[in-house]
Structure 1
Amino acid sequence: MVTAYVMVKASTGDVDRLKESMLNLDDGVKSVSIVAGDVDFIVKADVESPAEVKTIAASIHEMSGIERTQTYIAMD
């Protein structure tokens, strides 16, 4: 099992729509939290392989209203 966190910066104020879109993206997406700070969302994914993490992160990055993403894979 691979656990990853995707930090997401939005370019729009439509956070509710973006949150729903990310939650419905893939069964591996376990949670989407709206946060204060340098990013707008933290997405937690639990998947079988790093390739699946890449797919989820790329899909988020391609969404309308997303400015940038950073992906971190947990080591433990």
Structure 2
Amino acid sequence: MVTAYVMVKASTGDVDRLKSEMEAVDGGVESISVVAGDIDYIVKVRVDTPGDVKDIATAIHEMAGIENTQTYIAMD
């Protein structure tokens, strides 16, 4: 099992819509936290392979209203 964290910067203030869209991504979004600071969301992902992480991160990155994403795979 692979755990990863996707840091998401939004370009819009529509927090609830974006959170709902990210929750609807199929395949392994475990939780989404709205946070204060340089990023707007931390998305926790638990999937079978690193390729699955890429698929989810790409789906989030391509959403309307997302400015940038950074993905980190946990090592333990």
Corresponding residue for 2:3?
Answer: 3
Task: Give 1:37's aligned amino acid.
Answer: G
Corresponding residue for 1:21?
Answer: 21
Corresponding residue for 2:35?
Answer: 35
Aligned-pair distance for 1:71? 0.0
Q: How many residues align?
A: 76
TM score, norm. by length of structure 2 = 0.98
TM score, norm. by length of structure 1 = 0.98
- Measure, in 1, the Cα distance between the counterparts of 2:68 and 2:43: 13
Task: Give 1:29's aligned amino acid.
Answer: V
RMSD: 0.5
- Measure, in 1, the Cα distance between the counterparts of 2:31 and 2:23: 7
- Measure, in 2, the Cα distance between the counterparts of 1:26 and 1:44: 13
% identical aligned pairs: 71
How does 1:59-74 map onto structure 2 within 5 Å?
Answer: 59-74=59-74
> Which structure 2 residue ranges, 5 or more long, are not aligned?
none
Aligned-pair distance for 1:26? 1.6
Task: Give 1:32's aligned amino acid.
Answer: I
Task: Give 1:49's aligned amino acid.
Answer: T
